[in-house]
Structures are given as structure tokens and as C-alpha cells.
Amino acid sequence: MKFYLIVAKGSKQGMPIPISVDLFLIGSDKMCQLRKEGLGPKQCALVARDKKVFIRDFGNEQSTLVNGNAIPTGQEWPLHAGDRIGIGSLEFMIQYREHALSQRDLEEWAASCLDQDSQQQLFDDEPDDFRKHSTASAAANAIIDALQRQKGLMVGRLRIGIDHGLTVVRLNDRHLVEESEIAMIKRELCDKLNRPNLRILVDLKNVRRMSSAGVLMIADFHRWLKQWGSVMAICRVRGEIAGMLGTLGVESIPKFRDKREAMAARW
């Protein structure tokens, strides 16, 4: 089983460390795969077994933290995607990926994983455009915040932004064909957009190929949103994909040429 430790702070923040062995030791001893002075000789171990990953602390002076909490010494503690591991001055995020990537794509993916922790700011109350700011600096910062909301944040395979109350979700994958990838994208959509009364525009500009399973995933997500009182539309759909959407009964989802047209319409 292959998984990654993504450096979460320091000069090497965002660097992915691939791990494909069943036992990965962290500490100051020369036999450890990841060594750093100041840690215990064998500080902790990452153990991969039965397609799961566990961490074991060996009881040194410094505790091993998972999501800010010290884990019990001598016990295997289960790790999940997105968990933060703290060891002295080191901090990592654990992540999994089923398919190999080039080094550049891997680094971009690792950086986007760290962006997920800051996604909540997108869904905070939007700034009041008519609020009086006490200084020119505060006004400038408000403008920058608004532009950042429009641009959005990379969240896994998605880019999510907010523009005048419209939540714009761009799918980054070019091909929605493999069922495992489609299931992962659906999980990310549901995990990141489980908030009530959203107005969501799914941007399919990047998608060049889509299987019937991908179309059905879009339909399932549309139905899922209704239980939250949210509405959904799609935009920038390629011709052949638009034909599939109609053939498979997804014609009830509003479709627009671009974001501007969607923002002007009522749906």
C-alpha cells in the first residue's frame, strides 16, 4: 500500500514523501527512514496493514501527536486521510492516492491537500461591500479577500470559489471515466459542499471525456444537494458531454455557457 506524508510546515512545506513499505520508522537513530536530531532514537512508526495505516509511539520524552492530541504509547493508532501528525518541530499531513503522478503533478496535488484546511474561509459570511473600513489598508484587504473568494481554493480534485453568493466548483480532472476516480470526486463534492441553501455552479470546462458513470454521478450529486435545500447548475459543457447528459436523463439540471450567464439567470 502506498501513501504520502506531506510536509505541513517549515521550509519544505508541501513536499510529498512517498511511503510504500509496511514499516516506516521516524526518529534520530540511523536505522530510521526519516531521521531528525532531537527526536527519540525510535520516536514512532507508521505501519501499513490490510489497506490501512496506523501510527505507533514508542514512549520517548516527546509525545507523538495526531490532530493535536498525544496518542497512547505502545498502541497502534489508526490514521485517516487529512490527519495531521506532529512530532517535535515536524508536522505532516497523511494522504492517499491510488494512481501514480508525475513529480510536478504530485507536488501540485500535495499543495492542494494542504489548501483544504483553509477552505472554511470561503463559506464564512461574505464581506459587506457597503461596510465602512477604518483604514485604507483594511479596505484593500477586503478587496483582496473578495478576489480570493472568486478565484477559489484548490480542494482535492476541485477548485471551489464564491462570487456574489454563487458557489463555483470546477472539476480539475480531464477524464471522468474510471469508477474509482468518479467515486472519489463524488465523495469530495459531498464532503466539501454539505452546507444548507447553497447555489452551486459546477464548471465542466476541463472535462473532455465522461463515461455514463460520470454522468450518473452528476445526477446523484444533484439529487443529494436537494436534501440540503441547495440548487445546482452546470456550465461550459462540451458538446458530446451535453449530449450524454440529455440521453441519460439529466436534462433537468440547468445548463449555461459560462458563469456570467448563470449569475444573471434565475434557477
Percent of the chain whose predicted confidence (pLDDT) is above 70:
77
Q: What is the pLDDT of residue 50?
A: 85
What does the pLDDT read at residue 9? 84
Beta pairing partners, 62: none
Residue 111 pLDDT greater than 70, yes or no: no
Contact 235, 265 (CB under 8 A): no
- Average confidence score pLDDT of the chain: 82
Return the pLDDT at 25: 96
Share of the chain above pLDDT 90, in %: 46
Task: Render pLDDT for 14-41 as a digit per residue (tens, 0 to 9).
Answer: 888 999 999 999 999 999 999 999 999 9
185 closest CA partner among 165, 160, 163: 160
- Per-residue pLDDT at 106 exceeds 80: no
Q: How far apart are CA 46 and CA 54, in angstroms?
A: 6
Q: pTM for the whole thing?
A: 0.50
Q: Which three cell numbers stand for residue 252?
A: 433537468
Q: Can you give the pLDDT at residue 82?
A: 85
Torsion on CA atoms 234, 239, 244, 247, rounded to nearest 10: 100
Task: Report the pLDDT value the prediction gives residue 86, as an integer from 0 to 100.
Answer: 94
**Do residues 39 and 62 touch, judged by C-beta distance below 8 A?**
yes
At residue 99, the pLDDT reads 55
**Does residue 249 carry a pLDDT above 50?**
yes
Going from the C-alpha of 225 to that of each of 41, 70, 150, 186, 245, the distances in angstroms are: 50, 37, 22, 12, 18
Burial, 142: exposed, middle or buried (Cβ in 10 Å; 0-12, 13-18, 19+)?
middle
pLDDT at res. 216: 92
Cβ(243)–Cβ(265) below 8 Å? no
What pLDDT, on a 0 to 100 scale, did the predictor assign at position 144? 44
Convert 173-228 into a string of H (helix), E (strand) and C (coil). Answer: CCEECCHHHHHHHHHHHHHHCCCCCCEEEEECCCCCEECHHHHHHHHHHHHHHHCC
pLDDT of 80 strictly over 50: yes
Residue 171 has pLDDT above 80, yes or no: yes
DSSP helix/strand/coil, 244: helix
Task: State mean pLDDT over 105-117.
Answer: 62
Which has more pLDDT, 239 or 220? 220
Average pLDDT estimate for 55-71: 91
Closest CA to 16 of 117, 119, 100: 100
- pLDDT of 61 above 60: yes
Residue 130 DSSP label = T
174 pLDDT higher than 70: yes
Question: What value does the mean pLDDT take over residues 160-164?
Answer: 85
**Interval 68-73 mean pLDDT:** 90
Distance CA 235, CA 59 (A): 54
